[in-house]
Structure 1
Amino acid sequence: MKLRALYLLCIFIVLGLAAASHSYILPAEQILSFMIEQLGSGRTLMVSQKTVLYDPGLEGGMRELDETLYYRYPDRFRCEVSISGTEQVRVVSPEGAISVTNGKIIAETENPFDHFKDLLLYRQTEVLIEQLSQLDINPEIVSLGRYKDRIAYVIGAKYPDESVPQVWIEKNTFRPIRFILRGSGLNHTGWEEIEYTEYMPLDKHRWYPARILFFQNGRLVRMYVLKTFGINPELPGRLFDIAYLKTVYQPIASTQPSPSPESELDEVKKTIKDFTTTFE
């Protein structure tokens, strides 16, 4: 009888340990640290991409632009766009953000669409967590979820709740696959979710998504497609120096901030206006 009781006790202990092991989920800090490690390290990265804007209000329902992105790790980003003789530059750094069109400063706030770079740029866990917290993502909440047959860590929400801002990191690869900002202060930008897909190796140590998709209400509104890239190009610090750029470019006559776009179409129209390009 005693042996049977001891045997049952051992079974309960083993089952309990197995259940505890199965239910254990890594904290957000460790998950993001692994993500940064898996994406790879380096000094700089240049990405040439095709940007496709989708909206029924545009002629043909879409518009394509060519953009060049510059990452200077661990925390500086620059985007350059040139179309029909018009140039736009957007820079984000620890000192702030700036948007310039045709040599004129049009905004000193970050373009909401540029938040896609947050998971790909910041190479310090503490800085990334702070950035995500500013977007209303709670790093204290972590769960496991399933997305397109992939198991992922969900930071910021209890799966399957998708009503609050959250980040999805694939469990096997520790690469970001979803960035949901539904319910955050960025809802007015015309997109609610980003999907990172088709990761490709840049070298033996670095990975980058070949496609980045923006969705609103389940509808694709914007897509970035990787064309070419350059590893560790020489990027002068002044390219990302907000204070220096303010001495090079002049502000537009009006100092009033532009109204926030109400939809993706408004954002597209604003982009078109910035590029001085008219669409029927």
Structure 2
Amino acid sequence: MNITSFGSRVEAYRQRVEAALDRCIPAPGTYPARLHEAMRYSTQGGKRLRALLVYAAGEVLALDPEALDAPACALELIHAYSLVHDDLPSMDDDDLRRGRPTTHKQYDEATAILVGDGLQALAFAVLAREGQHLVAAQRLQMISTLARASGSCGMVGGQAVDLESEQRSLTLAELECLHMHKTGALILASLMLVTQASAFADAGWFNALERYGRLIGLAYQIQDDVLDIEGSSADLGKTAGKDVAAHKSTYPSLMGLDPAKRRAAQLFDEARTALAVFGDRAEPLVWLADHIQGRKH
């Protein structure tokens, strides 16, 4: 494994997934042109965290990046679709995403709905057809994993509960369950898809990556709740203070701001500890935990 820091390769991996996204979305001008233009618009920008988790875990398991382009791309397509739909007036009703007008503001509401539909379908098409290093059984397993993580038992279910929970106070256990579905399921899937792309991941490795994914997913959401209070719209690339304005239950509102920060820090520490089975090979995922913990947006 390369002994240099994963941070030195992050930009190359971001460029790699950007190229994969460019290849898989129908070319500009492809009929229907406006829909495909809007799909491209909706996938541009962002941290590419889920893709980076894929490539980092791939380094830990010594996988060829070419075997990981399809899952990295599929995860980013599902994530982009979820943001487009979350921003709709009937959902979180936001005008700003990744520092630009949300898709329904840049185009229109009906187009935004269709963009989400198109991106979701494309994600599964990518897993089904891309990646010459993956055999059919691996593709099928990965499609099943992504479907569960993004569907009613994962991300979509979490969003449904989130909407149902507005204007009422949740318990910490209820809030944790919500976020393990809405945010955590797709982050966990980023790690699980990599184990399924490997022919050699044993039970110990699988369990370590699964625990890391669960812990990072929850820590990331608690951190988001904190940033919604402390961050600015300019830094976040989306409207700050939305959760407070909507009277949503958040970790700071239930625990207090400083205890929420301490809880997130504890989860990040536990995530790093979960990687002990890999020894020095864990550096890419340790680096990502450090990077995510230090983020400001």
Q: For this structure pair, what is the TM-score category when the shorter chain's length is used for normalisation?
A: under 0.3
Q: Under a length normalisation based on structure 2, what TM-score does the superposition of the two structures give?
A: 0.27
Q: Under a length normalisation based on structure 1, what TM-score does the superposition of the two structures give?
A: 0.28
Higher strand share: 1
User: Considering only CA atoms, is the larger Rg found in Structure 1 or Structure 2?
Assistant: 1
